[in-house]
Amino acid sequence: MERRNLAQRRYLRRFMPLMVSYAMILIGVSAAQRHGDLAGATLGAMSVLPAIPLVGVIIVMGLYLREERDEFVRNRLVMAMLGGTGILLAATTVWGFLENNGMVGHPPTFLAFPFWCGAMGITQCAMALHDRLTSPAE
C-alpha cells in the first residue's frame, strides 16, 4: 500500500471532520424540522447549517490542490475537476431547457455539489481506463 504524502494527509485531516459534522448537522436539522414548528430566522439558520461543512469541503479541496507538490497528481485532480464541471454544466444546461419547456420539474439545487463530485469521480474512472487502454503492454 502506498503511503500518503503530506498534502494528502492534511486533506484527509481536514475533510473527515467536515463530513462527520455534515452528517451530524443533517441528522439534527432533519429531526428539528420533523419535531418542531420552525419559522423565520430559525428556519433560515437551520436551512443554511448543512451547507456550511460542504462549503468547507470545497475550500479543503482547493487547499489540497494548492498544497499538492506532485505535478502529475495535481494535474490529474485538475483534469478530473474540469471533467466534473463540464459534465455538471452539460447536464444542467440540458435539464434547464427541458424544464423551461415543461418536460421535467425543478431539481433541488443543493444536489449540484454531490452531482459534481460524482461527475468528478466518473472522470477519474474514465482517465484511469484511458491510461490502462493506451499504456504500452509490459
How does pLDDT run across 77-111, given as a tens digit for each residue? Answer: 999 999 999 999 999 999 999 999 999 999 999 99
Q: Could you tell me if 5 and 43 lie in one domain?
A: yes
How many domains does the chain fold into? Answer: 2
Q: Could you tell me if 14 and 60 lie in one domain?
A: yes
- Which of 28, 53, 69 is the endpoint of a domain? 69
Statement: the pTM of the whole predicted model exceeds 0.75? yes
Q: Could you tell me if 56 and 103 lie in one domain?
A: no
Q: Could you tell me if 54 and 112 lie in one domain?
A: no
Q: Could you tell me if 85 and 42 lie in one domain?
A: no
How does pLDDT run across 60-82, given as a tens digit for each residue? Answer: 999 999 999 999 999 999 999 99
Q: Could you tell me if 117 and 79 lie in one domain?
A: yes
Residue 116's domain spans which residues? 70-138
Which of 86, 73, 74 has its CA nearest to residue 123? 86
Place of cell 499504456: 135
- Which of 69, 99, 121 is the endpoint of a domain? 69
Q: Could you tell me if 98 and 121 lie in one domain?
A: yes
Q: Could you tell me if 93 and 131 lie in one domain?
A: yes
